[in-house]
Amino acid sequence: MFRSCLLGLFLITFTHHLSSQIEGDDLFGTDQIISIELDFPQSNYWTTLVANYEADENEYIVGNLTLTDIYGTQTFDSVGVRLKGNSSYSHPGNKKSFKIDFNKFVAGQNYDGLKKLNFSNGFKDPTCMREKVFSDICLAAGVLAPRTSFAEVNFNSTAWGFYTVVEQIDDQFMDWAILDDDGNLFKAGDNFGGGPGGSGGDAADLLYYGSEQSAYESRYELKSNEDLNDWTDLISFLDFINNSSNEEFETLLPNQLELTEYLRSAALDNLFSNLDSYTGSARNYYLYHNLSSNKWEWIKWDGNETFGSYSNGVNGMTTLALNYHDDDRPLLERIFENENLYNLYLQELCDIQEQYFNSTYMDARIDEVKNLIQSSVYADNNKMYSNADFDTNIENDLGGGPGPGGGTTYGLKSFVASKGNYVQGQVDCSLFTGLEDLELVTVSLYPNPASDRVQLDLSRQIGSVHVQFIASDGRIVLEEWMQGGRICELDISRLPSGLYGIQIRAKDYFGRSRLIIE
């Protein structure tokens, strides 16, 4: 397959920047269930938490925390706690999603280097693992997403429930995932409107609404550099997405956006029928402007309604069209309308299906998570579904679920099998995942080693060519398009020294080489 052949050649693993010595690795580096014991000194703590949430003030209250993981028990005085969530707040009873801020009342306090953690209540998920499984597959596929774990939670010695622990998207996430945290980080707003599945309203649709910042402030939230409050870069990017010519869009998009990562992200949303995302509701994503590369990076968020659990007014989530998107989603619209870009998208979709989204890989991973969490899920008396629902929905569909009229809650394994069969009937992935039918093109690089610029010379002219530079840890660090020529000169001045794999792909051609940057 396209990526695996290259990875084998250069002996690299397709991860983004993950290393073994990063903040949060004690929590997220091993499958485990941690214990959270929160002790609130005030007797009316729950009333206060609810009042703060309903006032929409994001105000924290003080609690003392005892946290136990596989490495031992730690205590934290005066952590901040608040309720969170949108639709998940509809979970029956008091088992609401919440956030812990270790640093809120005690400056510098952290757990495993982390300042904040999110606790998701498993709303609309009988298996209590959708978010974990989806996040793990995203990360394995080289797509930016929060890391996840599990927790058994107690409030004032009362069992509160079984939760998914979700990493905060903040500067610490950027430090390990992107190696740059000085740029603007925008979060898609959590706006509900009149469209299918609650979309519409002031959705974070990536449409261009003019040059005034005020036109976007109800659609996106700036999560970094708030004091500067400069949205110029985002508005410029939206202007490009919507107003560039077709030729400019195809040629310059890889210079504006980490394209391969985004295409893989979009492919994952389609494979998992994750429509509570940019594809459907236009929510649950972050955009980060990487100042080192001067490109935008797409970060996933909130996978609890994957495996087709967010209907978005669509019937048949296992037969979702490969190019499905709601109206007014210009980034997807323009990619899908462009033959070259759409073929790149299909290439990434096929690659992910071959590596991850298949019953062999997914069933084994689902069973691993089931074995880890089953007893904890059984012990949760505040969960939304029964123990029998947990067991059944791992394998098979449940009726009376979140679909129109209380329709199907898709079984994890049955969904993967059905959706995989549908995809295989819609696209011939052998066109994208195999090299045996492609003509090999010689790729020459001058000079080699190089420093600031390098000339790429192909053995023949082959039309529009997609060029990728791949670092030794698997990151695609530079992407360019060659339009109809045989020779092009590339600026590599921003790339650090080291060994890089160079890969080119055209409709019927493939080539690769190596470059040393000094």
Cα 496 to Cα 13: distance, rounded to the nearest angstrom: 19
Say what the pLDDT of residue 336 is: 97
The answer to whether 501 and 512 are in contact (CB under 8 A) is: yes
Task: Determine the average pLDDT of the residues in 261-277.
Answer: 98
pLDDT in tens, 142-198: 999 999 999 999 999 999 999 999 999 999 999 999 999 999 999 999 875 434 444
The answer to whether 69 and 187 are in contact (CB under 8 A) is: no
Say what the pLDDT of residue 5 is: 31
pLDDT in tens, 455-510: 988 888 777 788 888 876 567 788 887 776 678 888 998 898 888 888 888 777 77
Q: Which amino acid is at 469?
A: F
Is residue 4 predicted with pLDDT exceeding 50?
no
What's the order of all strands across the beta sheet hosting 487-491? 443-446, 453-458, 487-491
Cα 342 to Cα 327: distance, rounded to the nearest angstrom: 17
Whose CA is closest to 193, among 223, 157, 218? 218
pLDDT in tens, 225-237: 999 999 999 999 9
Task: Determine the average pLDDT of the residues in 351-355.
Answer: 92
* Parallel/antiparallel/unpaired status of strands 509-517 and 443-446: unpaired
Paired with 438 in beta bridges are: none
- Cα 473 to its chain centre, rounded Å, is 19
Paired with 101 in beta bridges are: 80, 116
Token pair of 449, please?
Answer: 């080693």
Output the CA angle 383-31-265, nearest 5 degrees.
85
Cα 516 to Cα 499: distance, rounded to the nearest angstrom: 5
Tell me the three-class secondary structure of 241-252, residue by residue: HHHCCHHHHHHH
Say what the pLDDT of residue 192 is: 53
Is residue 25 predicted with pLDDT exceeding 90?
yes
Say what the pLDDT of residue 384 is: 95
3 state SS of 471: coil
What's the order of all strands across the beta sheet hosting 509-517? 439-440, 509-517, 498-505, 464-470, 476-483
Domain positions in the chain are 180-355, 438-517
* Parallel/antiparallel/unpaired status of strands 148-155 and 98-101: unpaired
Token pair of 281, please?
Answer: 């509701």
Cα 65 to Cα 68: distance, rounded to the nearest angstrom: 10
Paired with 149 in beta bridges are: 165
Please return the burial class of 284, using the count of CB atoms within 10 Å of its CB with bins 0-12, 13-18 and 19+: buried
Name the strand (E) or helix (H) holding 130: helix 130-140
DSSP 8-state class, residue 340: H
Task: Determine the average pLDDT of the residues in 353-371.
Answer: 96
Least confident segment among 85-89, 246-250, 286-290: 85-89
Cα 38 to Cα 440: distance, rounded to the nearest angstrom: 61
Please return the burial class of 213, using the count of CB atoms within 10 Å of its CB with bins 0-12, 13-18 and 19+: middle
Task: Determine the average pLDDT of the residues in 72-96.
Answer: 94
* Average pLDDT value for the chain: 89
pLDDT category at 320 given cuts 50, 70, 90 is very high
pLDDT category at 386 given cuts 50, 70, 90 is very high
Cα 185 to Cα 211: distance, rounded to the nearest angstrom: 19
Q: Which amino acid is at 125?
A: D
The answer to whether 304 and 123 are in contact (CB under 8 A) is: yes
3 state SS of 370: helix
Say what the pLDDT of residue 17 is: 41
> Up-side HSE of residue 3: CA atoms within 13 Å toward CB?
23
Say what the pLDDT of residue 190 is: 84
Inter-CA distances, 171 with 21, 104, 180, Å: 16, 16, 8
Say what the pLDDT of residue 437 is: 58
Task: Determine the average pLDDT of the residues in 353-365.
Answer: 95
Task: Determine the average pLDDT of the residues in 331-343.
Answer: 94
pLDDT in tens, 99-148: 999 999 999 999 999 999 999 999 999 999 999 999 999 999 999 999 99
pLDDT in tens, 271-301: 999 999 999 999 999 999 999 999 999 999 9
Inter-CA distances, 345 with 2, 334, 336, 435, Å: 13, 12, 8, 17
Is residue 390 predicted with pLDDT exceeding 60?
yes
Cα 33 to Cα 56: distance, rounded to the nearest angstrom: 30
Architecture of the domain defined by 438-517:
Sandwich (2.60)
Handedness of CA 206, 211, 217, 222 (dihedral sign): positive
Least confident segment among 179-188, 198-207, 217-226: 198-207
Is residue 391 predicted with pLDDT exceeding 90?
yes
pLDDT in tens, 444-456: 898 988 999 999 8
